[in-house]
Amino acid sequence: MAKLSIKDLDLKGKRVFIRVDFNVPLSEDGLTITSDKRIKASIPSIEYALQQGAGLVLASHLGRPKGKPNPTMSMKPVAARLVELLPGHTVKVAPDCIGAEVQAMLSAPGEVLLLENLRYHAQEEGNDPAFSQQLAALCDVYVNDAFGSAHRAHASTEGMTKFVKQAAAGLLMDKELEYLTLVTKNPPRPCVAIMGGAKVSDKIEVIQNLIKVVDQLIIGGAMAYTFLRAMGQPTGKSLVEEDKIDLAKQLLADHGGKLLLPEDHVVAEVLAEGAANEVVTTIPDGKMGLDIGPKSIAKFSAAVAAAKTIIWNGPMGVFEKPPFDNGTMALAHAVAESSATSVVAGGDSEKAVRVAGVTSKISYVSTGGGASLEFLSGIDLPGVVALTEK
């Protein structure tokens, strides 16, 4: 179902509340932003609204202040960065996110008011109706551009939509929904999903949902060893979720023709950077699988090369510790070289394509983390459901 977009709204002279995701990493003293990519991700929506003649109220959480003010989680460093990213526009930072003092600071057209951390109030995570109504009173128009928080039914993402006439998606939210819907609802075929990471339990819902959509599902990372054990293969000291072996057996029985599993493995006695290792087809006792081997890389890369749609979530090995990064890096390059529509979701996968230097060759890298995982699992996101239908 298509949702109303910020581009569908008349913003001229309106006060627009944009729920952004400015949950940026800060230094321990809370004074310095160590990565501003989340701020930059919402700049297109902010600039669009300003160009349309709106006055903006920006709102976000930052960290986990547990319902009370915490100076190390203030939005003040974010405001300072916004001043640099929005030259020519006044950026004010409010002392709170509700109350008379905030009302008195509300922005005129062309101005930006950044509210203080929403989670300084426990009512934000509690989705309190009275708090939601106070937030809604700050605006004429509501826009949600915080896809990374869309899986949370909080006051600023879901509750306040009940007190506004229209709730629209920002440009970032629009793009997330466009690409994630494309790859999960009616993807160009063949459609290949690459699933990695440590645990089957972290990805059960994603696997169960995507297996119904894709033509092939590649399983790598430590979760592959649970499937190999389910097939009766030895796994040595590799990470295996004993309580998920029956689930793996069921998935193999129901969808075995779609699943692609590693045929060889890079193993070592210990998990350490530069550890002595070897490539094996059968994992011996006393050793653990830490990456996929060259045969598996070739098989997975061939599936990727033939695809028209690719979804990737999770690394193929312990890619933070070379030499156990070869499989993940090889897959990153294979996805980048493909002509398919490719969507990368999840922090580790985003990091992998960045380390491989191929981010610009991926069709879309989701900003969502947990939200993108839930979307791929087929779970309705409260912050998306709450938006107005077109």
Burial 252-277 (b: 16+ CB within 10 A, else e): eeeeeebbbbbebbbbbeeeeeebeb
> Which of the residues 199, 249, 295, 308 is marked catalytic?
199
- Within a domain: 390: no
Please tell me whether residues 184 and 322 are part of one structural domain. Answer: yes
Tokens for 130?
């009275």
Please tell me whether residues 17 and 150 are part of one structural domain. Answer: yes
DSSP per residue, 73-118: G-SHHHHHHHHHHSTTS-EEE-SSSSSHHHHHTPPPTT-EEEPP-G
Return the residue matching tokens 């879901």.
158
Please tell me whether residues 159 and 227 are part of one structural domain. Answer: no
Last residue of a domain, one of 120, 139, 172: 172
- Within a domain: 34: yes
CB atoms within 10 A of CB 248: 24
> Which of the residues 15, 38, 203, 229 is marked catalytic?
38
- Within a domain: 388: no
Please tell me whether residues 244 and 167 are part of one structural domain. Answer: no
Domain count, the chain: 2
pLDDT of residue 83: 95
Residue 264 is part of a domain; what is its CATH number? 3.40.50.1260
Tokens for 251?
């998935």
Q: Which strand (E) or helix (H) includes residue 238?
A: none
Q: What letter represents residue 81's amino acid?
A: R
> Which of the residues 67, 126, 370, 378 is marked catalytic?
370
- Within a domain: 381: no
Residues 6+ apart with CB under 8 A from 260: 216, 217, 218, 219, 299, 300, 303
Cα angle 139, 143, 148 (rounded to 5 degrees) comes to 130
CA pair distance 15, 103, nearest whole angstrom: 12
370: annotated active-site residue: yes
Please tell me whether residues 116 and 167 are part of one structural domain. Answer: yes
Q: Tell me whether the omega of the peptide bond preceding residue 190 falls within 30 degrees of 0, making it cis.
A: yes
347: annotated active-site residue: yes
pLDDT of residue 1: 62
Please tell me whether residues 261 and 240 are part of one structural domain. Answer: yes
Please tell me whether residues 254 and 204 are part of one structural domain. Answer: yes
212: annotated active-site residue: no
- Within a domain: 341: yes
User: Which domain range does residue 31 map to?
Assistant: 6-172
User: Mind listing the pLDDT tens digit of every residue in the chain (390 residues)?
Assistant: 689 999 999 999 999 999 999 999 988 888 899 999 999 999 999 999 999 999 999 999 999 999 999 999 999 999 999 999 999 999 999 999 999 999 999 988 999 999 999 999 999 999 999 999 999 999 999 999 999 999 999 999 999 999 999 999 999 999 999 999 999 988 999 999 999 988 888 888 899 999 999 999 999 999 999 999 999 999 999 999 999 999 999 999 999 899 999 999 999 999 999 999 999 999 999 999 999 999 999 999 999 999 999 999 999 999 999 999 999 999 999 999 999 999 999 888 899 999 999 999 999 999 888 899 899 999 999 999 999 999
196: annotated active-site residue: no
Last residue of a domain, one of 172, 199, 225: 172
Phi first, then psi: give them for residue 102, nearest 5 degrees. Answer: -70, -45
In terms of DSSP bridges, do strands 265-268 and 277-280 run parallel, antiparallel, or are they unpaired?
antiparallel
Please tell me whether residues 109 and 220 are part of one structural domain. Answer: no
Last residue of a domain, one of 149, 172, 195: 172
Please tell me whether residues 187 and 124 are part of one structural domain. Answer: no
Q: Are 203 and 346 in contact (CB under 8 A)?
A: no
Please tell me whether residues 224 and 291 are part of one structural domain. Answer: yes
Does the pTM exceed 0.85? yes
- Within a domain: 382: no
> Which of the residues 63, 67, 110, 347 is marked catalytic?
347
- Within a domain: 384: no
CA pair distance 314, 204, nearest whole angstrom: 13
Please tell me whether residues 45 and 190 are part of one structural domain. Answer: no
Please tell me whether residues 101 and 68 are part of one structural domain. Answer: yes
- Within a domain: 383: no
Rg (CA), the chain: 23
